[in-house]
Amino acid sequence: MPTIAFLVFWSQVMSQFAKSDAKKNQFAKTQCPYCGVGCGLEVLPPAMPGKAVKRDAEGNPIWQARGDRAHPSSQGMVCVKGATIGDALDKNRLLYPMVRDSLNEPFRKVTWDEAYGLIVSRIQQAVETKGPDSVCMYGSGQFQTEDYYTAQKLMKGCLGTNNFDANSRLCMSSAVAGYIQSFGSDGPPPCYADLEETDCAFLIGTNTADCHPIVFNRLKKHLKKNKGKMIVVDPRRTKTAEAATLHLAIKPGTNVMLLNGIAHLLLKWGKVDQQYIESCTEGFSDFAKILSDYTPDVVAQECGISPQHLAAAARLWSKSKRVLSLWSMGINQSIEGTAAVRTIINLHLLTGNMGRPGAGPFSLTGQPNAMGGREAGGLAHILPGYRVVKNPEHRQAVEKVWKLPEGSISPVPGRAAWDMILGLEQGDVDVFWVAATNPAVSMPDIERTKKALRNSPFTICQDAYFPTETTEFAHVVLPAAQWGEKTGVMTNSERVVTLCKAFKRARGQARADWQIFAEVGRRLGYEAQFEATTSAQVYDEFVSLTEGRLCDMTGLSHERLGLGPLQWPLPQQETEATAATRFDKRLYTNGRFLTPSGRAKFSAFHAKGLAEPPDPDFPFVLTTGRLYGHWHTQTRTGHIDKITKMHPNAFLEIHPYDAQTLNFEDEQVVEVRSKRGFVKLPLKVTKNIRRGTVFVPMHWGFLWGNDAEANALTHSEVCPISLEPELKACAVQILPVRAGPLVVQDVEQSLVSRLARSLVSAISR
């Protein structure tokens, strides 16, 4: 497993490399297309002067990528994913549109014209027979902002359905809901400069070292140098927890319990910021009332930690002047995800750790442009510019820019991700359009999901890659240009916006996602809405909708971003000011918020626990997560040798006590069952996980391993506010399987032997 030392070493090697050849070559500057850290990359053309072109086994040139030292977020650093991105650019690519009448048939190659014609007629048919809500689009944090924005106009404006949701729903919609409810608007208040200003980092539900490595690198370096403290809350002793001053290995499902327990102690000790509470917040008395239930003994018992450890965490909060909370899926993916986000925010309001350097509640986004999606209205309840569909003034403002009559946008939130699956299951969805994501792996309760996908009358799968698990369920596949083959914009977790310039020609007949949406829109009769011919024009229209909003980025354009990344808010009038080049912009620095009263809201949530707690039949709690090298469903990283060697197969992490009790040995293959399905995995016996909890990585779909899908086990219960599924926990039993080696599928053989065969036969016809 790479260490921080490795990352530092890597950045030093890369910087030497940069000095030696920077003058000789023109590098494309872009943002890494993997995680929400949003590192700057420089991509090198394969034909470097005086050097042979490096090629992969299939003869494709291998592009080189390295950290961009000028990028403010990553300062030249990259992790293994960013460093190896060049290895995956030409592998597994979808080159032509293809269609088939039923899932039992092979695909046949068609022209774009034929594919568009079919899609338009199926949409028109669905709208005429069942209404616009029978059409759904499921998009992705892999989109660039222009893709997101164009899809909103097509679905919410032209078709009049809010049935657009993105895989960000599975990732950070609880953070969105928490920010909106507490502060009156979405938008993470801190920035990465706070990583180097804090004296206490509170990391809860995030394995930052593996999942957001460059953020962790910056934080760890600062804390080490300045003797800062780090509290890590996680049932697993991850790489992140290993670096902590204090690790609280709580039971899964006890986040809210712990957070209320810390608040109870702070209040009892009088370690609160009375002035901040009185001047800048509301709802404190209701919050204080519920805290009386969260006495240290009760909380410690429920969380499975000692009262001393609980008190130590509260003491670190009380003694630190600047506390920065970081969280990701361990908080968000829960039936009480929004409650947990708001309870973290409560601690910041209680102690006045808001709007100051080194302090604030900071959600780390999973995907490279999940933030851009939020800005562009890319979830079923929101509209561009941090607006919501329920607000009539918000709808009117958007309709005006979209040149659509008043009333075109529905006031009713559309189907969220899991609701789309239910819509397919119940026969209410006639057209299901999936773009840049792979729900046949990433949705909860995957067998139920697959059954629903099989029930879909017409599924469009628009992706750069083929095959994926989801293309197996598609009637039409559309080749999308990869991020490096189109120019567009992405926003990272700290609101830094980067122009990602196209640096290579699109493979085959691939087209940018926004171009595909716009062409369908024009063919549906909306020529005036889709007049833009460049992504820069699309972006200009989008930023016009941010004017006067918290996320005001009217000072941004492709031209301006061509000079380098910028951080919002950046209104037009500040473009030329020094503010334009600052990367330490925090929100709510004046203690004023966007709620009707202008005050931040305390919330009063009691702990609910897990939707599916363990019981005598299913006595273990399964938790799921990412590994350092792999990205989501392996569509890219599964083709990179260095990464597949690092993480060759899925496994089940279990504590030695539990393994011994069940009479299992390390590496033994076991069967893990929940009420919905099963997996068969080799055991990894380790003290790095608490007793009674087991862990499975989330990256293995059915193309990458036999019976290794984490979501065969997970359930589909969602947070009632954010509608984010509880992908992080379910109850399981562990059983022996008959002896025999685990068959880890040979990746290439697997892919060729399955869906790729249909592509090969289609193309050769």
Q: Which residues bind ligand SF4 (CB under 6 A)?
A: 32, 34-35, 37-39, 74, 78-79, 81-82, 213-214
Q: Which is nearer to ligand SF4, 33 or 355 (CB)?
A: 33
Closest separation between CB of residue 46 and ligand SF4, Å? 20
Q: Which is nearer to ligand SF4, 84 or 693 (CB)?
A: 84
Query: Of 139, 171, 178, 169, which Cα lies nearest the Cα of 156?
Result: 139
Query: Of 739, 113, 136, 10, which Cα lies nearest the Cα of 420?
Result: 136
Note whether 358 and 198 are within 8 A (CB). yes
Note whether 497 and 561 are within 8 A (CB). yes
Closest separation between CB of residue 500 and ligand SF4, Å? 12
Q: Which is nearer to ligand SF4, 601 or 632 (CB)?
A: 632
What does the alpha-carbon distance between residue 670 and residue 735 come to, in Å, rounded to a whole number?
Answer: 6
Closest separation between CB of residue 7 and ligand SF4, Å? 9
Beta strands 669-673; 566-567: pairing state: unpaired
Q: Rg of the chain over CA atoms, in angstroms?
A: 25
| Torsion region of 221: left, alpha or beta (phi above 0 gives left; psi -120 to 50 gives alpha) | alpha
Q: Which is nearer to ligand SF4, 82 or 467 (CB)?
A: 82
Q: Which is nearer to ligand SF4, 418 or 503 (CB)?
A: 503
What does the alpha-carbon distance between residue 632 and residue 366 come to, in Å, rounded to a whole number?
Answer: 10
Closest separation between CB of residue 217 and ligand SF4, Å? 9
Q: Which is nearer to ligand SF4, 36 or 253 (CB)?
A: 36
- Alpha carbon of 157 to those of 154, 399, 515: distances in Å? 6, 7, 17
End-to-end Cα, the chain, rounded Å: 45
Closest separation between CB of residue 31 and ligand SF4, Å? 7
Q: Which is nearer to ligand SF4, 31 or 134 (CB)?
A: 31
Q: Which is nearer to ligand SF4, 14 or 263 (CB)?
A: 14
Closest separation between CB of residue 77 and ligand SF4, Å? 7
| Nearest-5° Cα angle at 176, 203 to 512 | 110
What does the alpha-carbon distance between residue 206 and residue 233 come to, in Å, rounded to a whole number?
Answer: 8
Q: Which residue's Cβ lies closest to ligand SF4?
A: 82
689 DSSP β-pair partners = 236
Q: Which residues contact 753 (CB under 8 A, 6 or more apart)?
A: none
| Nearest-5° Cα angle at 705, 692 to 55 | 125
Closest separation between CB of residue 214 and ligand SF4, Å? 4
Closest separation between CB of residue 141 and ligand SF4, Å? 12
Closest separation between CB of residue 68 and ligand SF4, Å? 10
What does the alpha-carbon distance between residue 252 and residue 394 come to, in Å, rounded to a whole number?
Answer: 39
> Number of C-alpha atoms within 13 angstroms, CB side, residue 221?
16
- Alpha carbon of 234 to those of 207, 254, 621: distances in Å? 8, 10, 14
Q: Which is nearer to ligand SF4, 39 or 729 (CB)?
A: 39
Closest separation between CB of residue 514 and ligand SF4, Å? 22
Q: Which is nearer to ligand SF4, 599 or 632 (CB)?
A: 632
Note whether 731 and 623 are within 8 A (CB). no
